[in-house]
Structure 1
Amino acid sequence: MNTHSPRSPRPLAITAVVLAVTGLVLLAVPHPPSPPVPADAPTAPTTSPSSPSVPASTNAHAADPAPAPSAPASVLPPKGEGTAGDQAIQKGLEAAWPTDLSVSDERQLLAAGRALLRADATGAGRGKWPEVFPGTGQGLTPAFSTARFRVQAAIARRDHRPGRAVVHLVWAGTDRGGTYADGRITDLYFTRTSQEGLPVWVPQPRT
């Protein structure tokens, strides 16, 4: 299964949510005050005799204030380590897409979505989804390692098509080349059906 499906614009919206959450965290960090300048400290000359003047129209950033100091590295989770930022991403997704499913449907979809994504990325448990992973026994090589795979955030919502739902997942993992990245985005689609008189959600096979 392609873990970056181009069929829906929703991954772009999820990316915006993740970036917005990160930005809010950065803005919330208090910046340390500037050290006081001694009264008798010499002031730097405003112009340099040896430097040619630059017309204002060609130096658009000359009057911009100095950029704010960057947030300390300890505020955000280290790149590729820890789960400190996952809760913020989860809250951002929930705020962007209010729930529109019953508690039981959402619980079932989230459990299935997490398991299906893990199976797709790491190969673990693919046998449970033969309709999604045909030829599982043919020695297919998973794209990611199980060691550092984790789902950072996930929500389940109705799709625009009747009887369909989509699970939005933000996740992290290390590919077979050893490159770790978080903030990966996947949408998985499910169809509501009935088995033995009970409503169930089944994943859509790859197309």
Structure 2
Amino acid sequence: MTTTPRSPRLLVLSTVILAVVGGVALLGVPHDQQPAPTTTAPAAPDPSTAAAPPAIPPTVPGPPSPASATPAASTPSALEPLLPPHGEGPAGDRAIQHSLEAAWPADLPAGDERELLTAGRALLRADATGVGRANWPQVFPASDQAVAPAFATAHFRIQAAIARRDGSPGRAVVHLVWAGMDRGGTFTDLRISDWHFTRTTSKKGASTWTPQPRT
């Protein structure tokens, strides 16, 4: 059975993915100019009321405030979607990678990040397609290795991946966004999976990252 646990941060990302593909509305709606009211000349005083004070002419309001009438110019950055729409294909993968890197800046040494990304990609491929499960017996026991893969190898693609610390220097997580076609023939992209690792040290002092079994 293929499982794809999701971290809280990537659940937020999946919400952003659905929200940003609809485009951005232009701001600024022109306000109608209000005509100035017509002033009325005061009536001639009645001789019988000559002692009465003269009539006060009505106050004419000033001109309306100037234009918020011109729509605000939109900047290119405001109109660019954060992520490509579903079905964009490999051409949109670079934008997804940039979005992940912008959301979670790098916090691991370059060597550790490369090691974790290589392992995370291999684990995801093994989990989804069955290819290479025997290389990870601590993650995929014999019972899992015999389970038919949920996704076809030919239609499996990792769209983006990052490796970051997971709360402490000795823990890390690989976030992956990927696409695949399941056994029913349904293709879906922008899938999200996490793989967690802990740093272990051998008796000879060599340090490596060990994937954690699925729970």
Per the alignment, residue 177 of structure 1 pairs with 184
Q: Partners in 2 of 1:22 and 1:165 — Cα distance?
A: 30
Per the alignment, residue 86 of structure 1 pairs with 93
Scaled by the length of structure 1, the TM-score of the pair is: 0.68
* Unaligned ranges ≥5, structure 1: 28-75
Question: Identity of paired residues, percent?
Answer: 65
Equivalent residues of 1:14, 1:185 under 8 A apart: no
- 1:154-196 per-position Cα deviation (integer Å, ceiling 9, x unaligned): 0000001451100000000000111100000001101111244
Q: Partners in 1 of 2:114 and 2:160 — Cα distance?
A: 14
Q: The residue matched to 1:84 in structure 2 has which SS?
A: helix
- 1:24-62 per-position Cα deviation (integer Å, ceiling 9, x unaligned): xx55xxxxxxxxxxxxxxxxxxxxxxxxxxxxxxxxxxx
Q: Partners in 2 of 1:138 and 1:185 — Cα distance?
A: 22
Rg larger in structure: 2
Shift of 1:5: 1.3
Q: Partners in 2 of 1:17 and 1:198 — Cα distance?
A: 40
Shift of 1:137: 7.7
Aligned-partner residue type, residue 131 of structure 1: Q
Q: Partners in 2 of 1:86 and 1:138 — Cα distance?
A: 30
Q: Partners in 2 of 1:83 and 1:142 — Cα distance?
A: 23
Matched, 1:11 2:10: yes
- 1:97-116 per-position Cα deviation (integer Å, ceiling 9, x unaligned): 01100000000000100000
Q: Partners in 2 of 1:90 and 1:17 — Cα distance?
A: 14
Q: CA RMSD in A?
A: 2.4
Q: The residue matched to 1:192 in structure 2 has which SS?
A: strand
The 3 A distance-change label for structure 1 pair 136 and 204 is same
What are the residue-to-residue correspondences of 1:32-43 with 2, within 5 Å?
Answer: none
Aligned-partner residue type, residue 175 of structure 2: H
The 3 A distance-change label for structure 1 pair 93 and 16 is farther
Aligned length: 156
Matched, 1:188 2:195: yes
Shift of 1:140: 1.2
Q: Partners in 2 of 1:204 and 1:138 — Cα distance?
A: 17
Equivalent residues of 1:164, 1:192 under 8 A apart: yes
Per the alignment, residue 152 of structure 1 pairs with 159
Matched, 1:200 2:199: no
Shift of 1:131: 0.5
Q: Partners in 2 of 1:172 and 1:133 — Cα distance?
A: 21
Residue in structure 1 matching 2:121, options 97, 114, 119: 114
